[in-house]
Chains A and B, each alone.
Chain A
Amino acid sequence: MKIKLTSVTVKDQGKALKFYTEILGFVKKKEIPVGEHKWLTVVSKEEQNGVELVLEPLAFEPAQVYQKALFEAGIPATAFLVDDINKEFERLKGLDVVFSMQPTQMGPVKLAVFNDTCGNNIQIFQVL
């Protein structure tokens, strides 16, 4: 058994694909039409055969409530590892990404949290 997929629920798959590829720099891996939605995944540019992130449509109503509650509390839906958080923070800020937490050290890790514009907070972290 292997961990090959993880997911975030997104309000709009088209908008999410744009954000996750054009702003975050991921690469589209699969886009398969399934009725009114798609099976849509992205991967890290550096690990294109690694774990796929499913940009999952938010059709199930309780999931919308859950996503909204997480978002309002500032809790990240998922987290991505970066090599240099200060550099990534500056790069994303330059692309008008909105942060709810600026780079903050917590033990041997530095964290920052931003809005993915699709209903989620996303955390980036650097292990020092």
Chain B
Amino acid sequence: MTYYNSQVLKIRDSYLPKQYLIDRVVKAKQAIDKHYCSEIDLNFISREAFLSKFHLIRLFKICYGQTPYQQITEKRMAKAETLLSNGAGISETCHALGFESQPSFCIYFKKHSGLTPTGFQKKAIPDKLV
């Protein structure tokens, strides 16, 4: 066994949560991966993972370095940027991500990217008439 292999196992066994807890956090992450485009909340994710909300947030942060909410936001923003860069309209993007109204999507997008969806699209596709 190499030095690196032994260090990986040592860190895993000494500092990371037990495997059954990791499995539950992974379940939460999979629920986010599957449902981030719809209205999911902490109640839903914690039920999927069989963890209390408190433990879910704590363990999720240990495992992935961010809270479930931060992960949902990151995934939604990445999806929004991909859709807008590919020429999708703002209304289409807003509905694809499960937002109920266009203004709330625009506020959310601006808060997280610093640009309005229109501004982002103008930068990503300079020739597109938006």
Residues of chain A touching chain B, judged by Cβ–Cβ distance below 8 Å, are: 73-76, 100-101, 104-108, 111, 113, 121, 127-128
Contact = CB atoms under 8 A, between A and B. Distances in A.
A76 B26 contact: no
Interface of B: 2-5, 8-9, 11-12, 16-17, 19, 22, 25-26, 29, 63-64
B112 to A, nearest CB: 19
11 contacts: A75-B2, A100-B5, A101-B2, A106-B8, A107-B17, A107-B22, A107-B63, A108-B22, A108-B25, A127-B64, A128-B26
Contacts of A128: 26, 29
B109 to A, nearest CB: 21
A105 B26 CA distance: 12
Contacts of A108: 22, 25-26, 29, 63-64
Contacts of B3: 73-75
